Amino acid sequence: MNPGEGDFIGTSADVVLMIDADGFIERLHRPPTARAFARVHEGAALGRVPLPRVVRDDLMGAVVRARHSGEVVTFDAELDTTDGIHLHHVTARRVDERVVCVVRDDDAIVGRRMGRDVEMVRLASALGAYVWSADISPDGSFNYRYYSSGAEQLTGYPPLYFEEGGPSRWLATVHPEDRPRIADAADAVMTQNLERLIQEYRSVWPDGRVVWLRDHCFIDQLPGGGRRITGLVLDITDRRRMESELLQMQKEESLGLLAGGIAHDFNNLLMTILRGAEHAQKRVGDSGAQEALAMVVDATQRATGLCQQLLAYAGRPTGSTESVDLSKMVAGMKPMLEALAPDATIEVKVADGPTMVRADTTQLQQVLLNLATNAVQALGENGTVSLRVWRQWVDLDRLPVDSIRDGATDGHYVMLEVRDDGVGMSEKIRERMFDPFFSTKEQGHGLGLSATLGVVRAHAGILRVDSLEGEGTTFTLAFPCADEPVRADVSPESTPSTARGRILFVDDEASLRTLTRMVLEDEGFDVVTAADGAAALAFLDARGGDVGVVVLDLTMPGMKGMEVFQRIRASRPKLPVILSSGYPPETIGDLVGNDDRLDYLSKPYTMDTLLEKLTAFLELTES
């Protein structure tokens, strides 16, 4: 620290703390006029200073962030001082290896007692805020004194707009939903003997943009019986957005865990039902039971679709990822949409060049189907649905505040827009549209949009919804670009194979082990089953020399499937393994994509699918 900085600390009118690299208060300056930090002393650990826990945590967080990022970090804190609770503004700045924290009494900032208007406006400008002032005369009349120039940066309106228009003009810029509450607060200032009032509200710009503002109002008595109000207004849009996103993420994380757990349990049950029905179909011949069994298989597969949507909402992959041209996928949906809504106009506009994204193809198709079907159903008898795909650079700082962008970063994205001019959504419906099991349709299961949100988040994408009741809805999605060439869509001919060998089937569901062993043995395989990972590893160590493929459930009690797989890979790196789960890990796509002797099956899967993968791996080991 240079001498000039030391002089500043010693002469500052604010409380100044110098925090060393170990988190201790190396130096404390507290001027006689200061009302805060009376019980704080030099040499104390910052984490143990006698402050409210929230303030202490904020202070430590600001110090850590300033030290590691080099940024100037600020926050507001309410502190219990020698003459009551007062608002303070804290600034943390790194100086060499230390962090200097300046704690400024916000009452003094706005000149509550000193009336220093010039200093107040200058400070507001430094904070990116604006100041306003008004007088209330003894007869109750209200007159604005001034608005600082910063008002235009925060509201979109020049100061003169408010000064000439009076309180009614300012109130008209408040969001309609917040207006009654703010009007009541303004009445309280006029009629009650308040000294201080803090309000947070949404302000609507001339172009319709909405921002969140926090207004700190301080009321002083004037000679002669009048009162003077001074307001310091800060833009808290980012803070509000982060709070909203955090609450939404916490809710969705809880629901996602619940949905994923339900999907896992149901997938295991469906797996047993499907396996039993398939086995029975092979045994009953041409009897009338075939039709009933076919209905069981069909119902099981439809239930599987619902479970896949639950997993999508939980942000879990249902298969591996690959490069997909989103334009081709969207263009291919037009005939289906035209068949669904023959009286509607379906418009599809895609980019000229490739629009590649790396995605779980099944989940991406489900998203498209959900959004397009919803758009068609919103039209009624006629109307227009438009689907558009293009590439675009996305700067997260320039996105609308209501965009969902968890995990997204600045970069090139493939954009998908699905727009309809149908019935639109009310505010209440928009608030709940992503909740699982919430639906406005009589026969809807309420998983389409919740699954869409889960898929977007799982792919580090962006989602935004614009909808007004009676004016239609627009969904805008963005997925990170993938510049790899798309894999050719070649469907190999299905040819019967005579390759058979020993299979180790590992699953904690006893009925599933029994049924799978019976079916595979009917197909000519030699099958060994294990109820858990420890038993499977023990068998491989003792008698596993002729095992050709391991089919391994990932979600088992005791030793987890992924640990079992890693041990198998360590001891037998060339042994093919088919992983299976009703609730796969998020990294399964990357894992499978980097190992040609590893595959994945999402439960419940058909026996034909399992046989195809087993045959392919056994042929690989024999070649």
> CA-based diameter of the chain, in Å?
104
Mean pLDDT in residue range 17-35 = 86
**Per-residue pLDDT, 505:** 94
Confidence check: pLDDT of 259 > 50: yes
E-assigned strand segments in 332-461: 345-349, 356-360, 384-394, 411-420
- Architecture of domain 117-235 in CATH? 2-Layer Sandwich (3.30)
Q: What is the reported pLDDT for 373?
A: 83
Residues 6+ apart with CB under 8 A from 248: none
In this prediction, residue 110 carries a pLDDT of: 41
Domain residue ranges of the chain, discontinuous segments joined by +: 3-109, 117-235, 247-313, 321-480, 502-622
Which residues of 130-242 form beta strands (DSSP E)? 130-136, 142-147, 196-204, 210-221, 227-235
The pLDDT value recorded for residue 499 is: 40
User: Given pLDDT bands bounded at 50, 70 and 90, which one contains residue 447?
Assistant: low
User: Which of 40-44, 338-342, 526-530, 586-590 comes out lowest in average pLDDT?
Assistant: 586-590
pLDDT (mean) for 510-515: 84
User: What is the domain class of 3-109 according to CATH?
Assistant: alpha beta
Q: How confident is the model at residue 111 (pLDDT cuts 50, 70, 90)?
A: very low
Structure tokens at 240: 């509000």
Separation between Cα atoms, residue 480 and residue 329, nearest integer Å: 16
Radius of gyration of the chain (CA): 32
pLDDT at 406 over 60: yes
Per-residue pLDDT at 122: 66
> Do 321-480 and 117-235 have the same topology in CATH?
no
131-135, 244-248, 361-365, 544-548 — which one is most confidently predicted on average? 131-135
Neighbour count for residue 375 (Cβ, 10 Å): 27
Q: Which CATH number fits domain 321-480: 3.40.50.1820, 3.40.190.10, 3.50.30.50, 3.30.565.10?
A: 3.30.565.10
What is the reported pLDDT for 460?
86
Q: Is the peptide bond before 604 cis (omega within 30 degrees of 0)?
A: yes
pLDDT, tens digit (0-9, with 9 covering 90-100), for 181-227: 999 999 998 888 888 899 999 999 999 889 999 998 888 887 777 88
Q: Which residue has 């007692």 as its token pair? A: 113
- The share of the chain scoring above pLDDT 70, in percent, equals 79
User: Looking at the predicted structure, is the pLDDT value of residue 266 above 80?
Assistant: no
Quick one: tokens of 522?
């009917």
Spatial neighbors of 623 by CB under 8 A, at least 6 apart, are none
Quick one: pLDDT band at residue 479, thresholds 50, 70, 90?
A: very high
Would you say the pTM of this structure is higher than 0.75?
no
Is residue 4's pLDDT more than 50? no
Q: What is the mean pLDDT of residues 327-342?
A: 83
With cut-offs at 50, 70 and 90, classify the pLDDT of residue 488.
very low
CATH class of 502-622: alpha beta
- Averaged confidence pLDDT in the chain: 80
Phi-psi region of 524 (alpha: psi -120 to 50; beta: other; left: phi over 0): left
pLDDT above 80 (res 582): no
pLDDT band at 491 (very low <50, low <70, confident <90, very high): very low
